[in-house]
């Protein structure tokens, strides 16, 4: 698979400052931070020490990540570490691992695109992952990934039709389907900050090694789990057209600056040859 490697200077975070902390939380704007949990990121929005009900959790990690999320939330925001709500980029298992537990324990609403609701209210399963694309250990293991829907019942809400994001006043949500039908990314114009979810990822998700080392790279969505590549391509191009300055993806380190922009432009331009699985290119509508 072709990849677009980036110099370390494209990383959005300050590693020296981070080395002083041990909670794994990386702050990339005064009110935006993320934590890498094994293979996936969760994002925290809100001012530090804002207290209960004054911040937002974006995505809910893999199974078993509850203690890490609770600990990071309490350390960053204080009080009992309870948010105003949870916002989902999409409902794949690695983004909803502790969603049922946390939404129940916190008793907070969970906002998702209406097209993701069937996967969040117990009515529909995602199509099975395709282990034959992308290569690498995670792709081969992907048939073992859970695809059955979680059920968060009464906590589930629609993202507002006016594209505002509840409790995140400067952000808007953008429909970025392809990787999942109701996949959304969150965008803030003021500092051109994009919470991309899995519409683009900044590590080679197909490879366990890259997931662990988190070498900065720019990729299309994880291959084994993306059913609609035409929509995925359109979503990458829509993201590139925004011209983001800072990108936090669902997987990999956050990135910023000129190298990131260049890599994103190349990914958008050459999506068919760079991101599209080879055996799926046949019959692809021309770009």
Closest CB 11 distance from Zn ion, rounded Å: 20
Closest CB 60 distance from Zn ion, rounded Å: 11
Residues listed for the chain: 287
Candidate list 92, 219, 233, 256; residue touching Zn ion; CB under 5 A: 92
| 51 in Cβ contact with 78 (< 8 Å) | yes
Residues in 170-199 that interact with Zn ion by CB under 5 A: 198
Give the orientation angle of helix 99-106 with respect to helix 66-77, to 10 degrees.
40
Residue for token digits 């005064």? 30
Q: Is 250 in the site for Zn ion (CB under 5 A)?
A: yes
Q: 165 is written with which tokens?
A: 């994001």
By C-beta, is 39 or 73 nearer to Zn ion?
A: 39
Nearest to 220 by CA among 281, 270, 261, 169: 270
By C-beta, is 198 or 259 nearer to Zn ion?
A: 198
By C-beta, is 61 or 250 nearer to Zn ion?
A: 250
Rounded to 10 degrees, what is the CA torsion of 255, 259, 263, 266?
A: 150
By C-beta, is 94 or 116 nearer to Zn ion?
A: 94
By C-beta, is 40 or 84 nearer to Zn ion?
A: 40
Closest CB 40 distance from Zn ion, rounded Å: 5
Helix (H) or strand (E) holding 86: strand 85-87
Is residue 19 exposed (0-12), middle (13-18) or buried (19+ Cβ within 10 Å)? exposed
Candidate list 94, 130, 206, 259; residue touching Zn ion; CB under 5 A: 94
Residues in 196-215 that interact with Zn ion by CB under 5 A: 198
Q: Is 117 in the site for Zn ion (CB under 5 A)?
A: no
By C-beta, is 76 or 179 nearer to Zn ion?
A: 179
- Bridge partner list, 58: 43, 87
Which residue of the chain is nearest Zn ion when measured via CB? 92
Q: 216 is written with which tokens?
A: 């900065």
Residues in 28-87 that interact with Zn ion by CB under 5 A: none
Q: Under the rule (CB under 5 A), what is the footprint of Zn ion? A: 92, 94, 198, 250
């Amino acid at each position: 698979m072709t990849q677009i490697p980036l110099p370390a200077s494209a990383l959005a975070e300050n590693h020296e400052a981070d080395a002083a902390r041990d909670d794994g939380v990386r702050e990339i704007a005064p009110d935006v931070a993320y934590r890498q949990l094994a293979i996936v990121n969760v994002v925290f929005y809100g001012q530090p020490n804002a207290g209960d009900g004054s911040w937002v959790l974006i995505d809910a990690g893999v199974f078993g990540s509850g203690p890490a999320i609770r600990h990071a939330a309490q350390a960053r925001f204080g009080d009992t570490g309870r948010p105003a709500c949870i916002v989902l980029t999409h409902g794949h298992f690695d983004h909803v691992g502790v969603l049922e537990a946390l939404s129940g324990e916190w008793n907070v609403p969970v906002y998702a695109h209406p097209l993701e609701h069937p996967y969040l209210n117990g009515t529909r399963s995602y199509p099975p992952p395709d282990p034959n694309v992308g290569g690498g250990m995670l792709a081969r293991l992907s048939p073992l990934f859970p695809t059955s829907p979680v059920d968060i019942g009464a906590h589930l809400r629609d993202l507002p039709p006016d594209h505002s994001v509840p409790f995140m006043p400067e952000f808007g949500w953008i429909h970025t389907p392809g990787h999942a039908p109701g996949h959304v990314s969150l965008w803030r114009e003021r500092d051109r900050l994009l919470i991309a979810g899995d519409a683009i990822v900044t590590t080679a998700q197909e490879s366990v090694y890259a997931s662990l080392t988190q070498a900065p790279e720019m990729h299309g969505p994880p291959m084994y789990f993306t059913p609609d590549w035409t929509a995925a391509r359109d979503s990458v191009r829509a993201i590139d057209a925004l011209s983001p300055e800072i990108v936090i993806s669902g997987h990999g380190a956050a990135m910023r600056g000129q190298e990131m922009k260049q890599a994103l432009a190349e990914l958008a331009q050459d999506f068919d040859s760079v991101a599209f699985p080879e055996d799926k290119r046949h019959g692809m509508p021309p770009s």
